[in-house]
Homo-oligomer: A and B are copies of this chain.
Amino acid sequence: MAFSELVSRLKSSLIREILAAAQRPEVMSFAGGLPAEVMLPPVQWQDMPLSMGQYGMSEGEPQLREALAEQARQLGVPCSASQVLVVSGSQQTLDLAAKLFIDPGTEVLLEAPTYLAALQIFQLFGAACLSVPLEADGPDLTRLRARLEQHRPAFIYLIPTFQNPSAVRYSEARRDAVASLLDEFGVTLIEDEPYRELSFDGGSATPIVSRLQKASWIYTGTVSKTLLPGLRVGYLIASQDLFPHLLRLKQSADLHTNRVGQWQAMQWIGTTQYQQHLHELRGFYRQRRDAFQAALETHFSDLAQWQVPQGGLFFWLSLKQPLDTRTLLDSALAQDVTFMPGEPFFSEPERNLGHLRLNFSHIDPARLDEGLKRLATVIRQAQAAQAA
């Protein structure tokens, strides 16, 4: 059987295996990024016109595109509805962007750490993934400039607001500085913002794409973290030079995004009902975040360092005594606990040992303390074994 070169880069997915293990009901999982089930809003369908069952436009539903453009303009993103493409979850934006930019060997620039599934799909298309380290309030600017001076990446992929996995939120100053560097070097920005609305402590800097003067850009979001992931409705907004290509790639990928999900999203985006739901969601996750922080302080203060996330769905822990956290998975699962090792979030995993991504949104609060306690024990035992 002769497969494509692409398939030779298809790795067995650690995430798939971890999430499969997390399906067992007795497992306390800190691994996924799932919304809490109790916060999935009740939705109604009875008013949906039957015409939503017919084929639709590749661009997406006109009314939804208008609402998404309006929402983006309110964030300062200069755009019209004609630049909005509704996609089958924001994962599809990564697929379309990979097709648009990446040939085997194409250099792309990412944060370290970065979103695992982005790294995987860019590598699947054969990209050479360069990285720039993240600091507490954004990327290391000296290293970023050096990268741009020495390379010509096809794009830079950033998650500036409550990054997955690190929870970092770029400061105003870093956003301005990044925009200015991308303009200076003419590098396209892909800005991924699934977590923007999940902000727990107020404050919200405008997207970096709104600060660009010249560089091309793709801004991408989703309703998966705020409404219903099962709808598979995400969107991208692109500068005019990129949009027509992305539209054709979308058409060839799956003709158009399902209209049933688009119709449901249309009932929410831009409404006061949605604002109210977001308000409740923030309050709910803030409580979960605070409870998680308290439990972490009890069980992990001697083991790891972390920043309290101001938004998003994750804590990012850095072990004081680093070890390869992938090696902890089996013993954690033996204790009915799972988590996401930090190494796969880096393009050079072996050089970035000792981080853990812990999801705080989905765990049953009654099992939180026990779960973290068991995980801490697994780590202590591994460190003791390593020291011995």
Contacts and interface: CB of A to CB of B under 8 A. Distances in A.
B121 A252 contact: yes
Interface stretch (A92-100, A202-210, A276-284, A328-336): A92-100
A interface bracket (residues with beta carbon within 8 Å of B)? 35 or more
Contacts of A216: 1
Interface stretch (A135-143, A243-251, A371-379): A243-251
Interface string A114-143: 000100110010000000000000000000
A350 interface: no
Nearest to A87: B254
B245 A232 contact: no
Contacts of A245: 3, 7, 10
Contacts of A260: 230-231, 258, 260-261, 264
B232 A254 contact: yes
B54 A230 contact: yes
A7 to B, nearest CB: 6
Interface in A191-239: 216, 224, 227-233
A95 B255 contact: no
Nearest to A239: B1
A4 B51 contact: no
A53 B255 contact: no
Contacts of A37: 51, 54
Contacts of A3: 100-101, 245
Given A7-B99, A7-B245, A245-B10, A117 B230 contact: no
A308 interface: no
A136 to B, nearest CB: 30
Contacts of A56: 230
Given A5-B103, A7-B245, A258-B88, A231 B53 contact: yes
Nearest to A126: B4
Given A13-B251, A260-B264, A45 B42 contact: no
A273 B339 CA distance: 45
Interface in A55-108: 55-56, 58, 87-89, 91-92, 95, 99-103, 106
Contact of A91 (B89, B248, B255): B255
A214 to B, nearest CB: 12
A268 to B, nearest CB: 12
B254 A100 contact: no
A61 to B, nearest CB: 10
A121 B13 CA distance: 26
Given A45-B45, A100-B4, A101-B3, A120 B252 contact: yes
Given A230-B53, A255-B89, A248 B106 contact: no
A50 interface: yes
B230 A55 contact: yes
A42 B241 CA distance: 41
A354 to B, nearest CB: 27
B255 A258 contact: no
Task: List 9 tightest A-B contacts by C-beta distance, closest first.
Answer: A53-B228, A45-B45, A230-B259, A232-B258, A88-B254, A53-B230, A55-B229, A258-B258, A40-B53
7 contacts: A1-B241, A3-B100, A53-B228, A55-B224, A88-B258, A232-B255, A260-B261
Interface of A: 1-7, 10, 13, 16, 32, 34-35, 37, 40, 42-43, 45-46, 48, 50-56, 58, 87-89, 91-92, 95, 99-103, 106, 117, 120-121, 124, 152, 154, 188, 216, 224, 227-233, 241, 245, 248-249, 251-261, 264
Given A45-B46, A54-B228, A260-B261, 16 more contacts: A1-B216, A6-B99, A10-B249, A40-B54, A46-B46, A87-B254, A88-B232, A88-B254, A91-B253, A120-B252, A230-B259, A230-B260, A233-B258, A254-B254, A258-B260, A260-B260
